[in-house]
Amino acid sequence: GRKGDQYDVIEKHTQSGLELVEKYVKFVKERTEIEQNYAKQLRNLSKKYNQKRSNKDELSSYQSFLDILNEMNDYAGQRELIAENLMMNICIDLTKYLQELKQERKAYLMEAKRAQQNLESTYKQLDSSKKRFEREWREAERATQYAEKTDQDINATKADVEKAKQQAHMRAHVADECKNDYAAQLQKYNKEQSHFYFNEMPLVFNKLQDLDERRVRKLAHGYILFSDTEKHVMPIIGKCLEGITKAGTNVNEKNDSMVIIEQNKSGFERPGDVEFEDYSQGINRTSSDSSLGTPKGPMDLLGKNKGKNFWLFSKRSKPTVTEDFAHLPPEQRRKRLQQKLEEIYKDLQKETDQSEALGKMKDVYEKNPQMGDPASLASQINQTSQNIERLRGELNKYEVMTKPGNSPYGCTHSSVDGFVSGNVRSLSSPDGAHSDESTPDPSQAIYAEFDDDFEDEELTAPIGNCTAMYNFPGASEGTISMQEGEVLAVVEEDKGDGWTRVRRNNGDEGYIPTSYVTITLNK
């Protein structure tokens, strides 16, 4: 009846209420995943830019960038906290609550079902007793009519009439009993029906209403938590952002300039005036010789601190001036010569790297004309090889000067040890053993490092790995092809020329453009 309809309405309403909670939990869970990915990407980004430590870290602009990366890492941590708290306080909590609600709802619906079934079975008893009364009453009527008919019948014996009357009397008695039973059943049903509609069902409906309101209240709290969770970390996020602002305000360009000047002071006197050499009067050589020092003008100050990408395309070549520091005392002269050797060695190393990079670029341009015109590199290649020749010449001159017995004073001191000779020797002799007398051939030394690239006997241990973001055909010599998404081992970091050396699982090695991959170096 009516209550049945209401029951269906309430059952459907409470069911869709639970589904809303489930939907909200799912929504928050997906929101949490977005937050986790965001935090993860921020952490990776911070790590990616935080890898290379440079000697520039004492400059405030470099230090501040590191500070920003660290603040961003902390910021990512706060985003992870948001994700964690959303998960714990909303998803997990509401899911647990939902299980309890489902059990409770089920119990109430079962109560209602049982009450309904009881009422139905009482109604069935009522119905059958009513039908029996109806049946018996008809039978009694019939028996009474038969008795009257027999009484009127002149052919009927006295015994027949008596028998018919008895039968009618018995039937009437049975019908009466059925009537009483029906009345009792009716009373019982009406009482139960009233109890069902006025007590049982309202009680169950009230419990369901209370349950539903509790659910709505809990859900509303879940809605508020969605914003509170984020608000909660705002002060710390604010601190991270303040830290980034502070990093910006901490930059002090004047101080940075002072640090640079301090680091790169040459200690040289400025050169004196070049004297007029009057060939018509006998020549005064000595004075002018000592004043022909290498000019240490602003050009050199720049040159020394240029980043790789500056010199990669710089066409400037320094004038060759051999300075023998003859005016200095022996020990200082030895130190100056050694410094000079180191400088030349470094320049030569740079030019050699440059030459190799240009070679690779030319190769790539030849195979992939859309990337550039190989002819455009000709002048740079030419310039670089001239610079290499010139520097080799200088290296030889200075090495001769540093040999014992080549002092202008005629005194001897041990051959230069330390950075240059150590480096050069270890490059040229594989076992690292070397005697002090042997002066290595510099040209051989420079190239010893690159010869390694063509020896397959022992593979260098990878220093990290990388994932290809794009396909690369790897058509030119020395390069290697890769497919988007492929993961390769990094064998040698980008030296500033835009190329990284990688290795496949099968041992194939080669260069790939650094900008085509994302690189993760081992800690």
Grade residue 406 by pLDDT with cuts at 50, 70 and 90. Answer: low
Q: What is the pLDDT of residues 93-121, one digit of tens each?
A: 999 999 999 999 999 999 999 999 999 99
Q: Are residues 195 and 340 in the same domain?
A: no
Looking at residue 123, what is its pLDDT?
Answer: 97
**Rounded Cα–Cα distance for residues 404 and 9 (Å):** 107
Point out the least confidently predicted range of 25-39, 439-453, 490-504. 439-453
498 and 357 in a common domain? no
pLDDT of residue 282: 62
Q: What is the CATH number of the domain that holds 18?
A: 1.20.1270.60
Q: Is 425 a residue whose pLDDT tops 50?
A: no
The yes-or-no verdict on residue 404 having pLDDT over 70 is: no
For residue 141, pLDDT beyond 70? yes
Q: What is the pLDDT of residue 96?
A: 97
Check whether residue 476 and residue 341 sit in a common domain. no
Q: What's the first-to-final CA gap in the chain, in angstroms? A: 75
Print the domain residue range for 372: 330-402
pLDDT at residue number 4: 65
**What local confidence, expressed as pLDDT, does residue 310 receive?**
39
465-514 residue pLDDT tens: 999 998 888 888 888 999 999 999 999 888 888 889 999 988 889 999 99
- Shared domain for 142 and 236, answered yes or no, is yes
How many separate domains does the chain show?
3
Judge if 80 and 226 occupy the same domain.
yes
Same domain for 468 and 391: no
Q: What is the mean pLDDT of the chain?
A: 82
Same-domain check for residues 213 and 351 = no
- pLDDT number for residue 361: 85
Report if residue 14 sits inside a domain: yes
The one-letter amino acid code at 459 reads: L
Same domain, 355 and 480: no
Question: What stretches of 368-418 show up as alpha helix (H) in DSSP?
Answer: 378-402
Query: What pLDDT score does 333 carry?
Result: 79
Last residue of a domain, one of 364, 379, 402: 402
pLDDT at 372: 80
Is residue 224 one of the residues assigned to a domain? yes
Q: Of 218, 238, 256, which residue sits at a domain end?
A: 256
Alpha-carbon gap, residue 81 to 36, rounded angstroms: 9
Averaged pLDDT, 121-137? 96
Is 276 among the domain residues? no
2 vs 358: CA distance, rounded Å:
91
Amino acid 450: pLDDT: 47
What are the pLDDT digits (tens) for 258-314?
A: 888 888 877 777 888 998 888 887 655 544 444 444 444 444 444 444 444 434 444
Of 195, 223, 256, the last residue of a domain is 256
| pTM recorded for the entire structure | 0.48
- pLDDT tier for residue 170 given thresholds of 50, 70 and 90: very high
Helix H, strand E, coil C: the string for 236-261 is: HHHHHHHHHHHHHHHCCHHHHHHHHH
Q: Is residue 74 in a domain?
A: yes
Same domain membership, residue 395 and residue 495: no
What pLDDT score was predicted for residue 494?
87
132 lies in some domain:
yes
165 domain-assigned: yes
Read off φ and ψ for residue 519, nearest 5 degrees: -110, 135
How far is the C-alpha of 493 from the C-alpha of 502, rounded, in Å? 9
- pLDDT grade, residue 447 (50/70/90)? very low
**Residue 222: other Cβ atoms inside 10 A:** 19
Long-range contacts of 239-245 (CB under 8 A, 24+ apart): 240/71, 240/72, 240/74, 240/75, 240/78, 241/71, 241/75, 243/67, 243/71, 243/74, 244/67, 244/68, 244/71, 244/72
Whether pLDDT at 186 is above 60: yes
Query: Is residue 448 in some structural domain?
Result: no
Does one domain contain both 88 and 232?
yes
Most confident of 40-44, 251-255, 261-265, 509-513: 40-44
The pLDDT assigned to 106 comes to 96
Q: 43 and 144, same structural domain?
A: yes
Residue 513 belongs to domain with CATH number: 2.30.30.40
Answer whether residue 439 shows pLDDT above 70. no
pLDDT for 335 beyond 90 = no
pLDDT value, residue 409: 46
At 374, is the pLDDT very low, low, confident or very high (cuts 50, 70, 90)?
A: confident
* Region of poorest pLDDT, from 50-64, 224-238, 321-335: 321-335
Q: Tell me which DSSP letter residue 267 carries.
A: -
**Do 395 and 469 fall into the same domain?**
no
- Residue 435 falls within a domain, yes or no? no
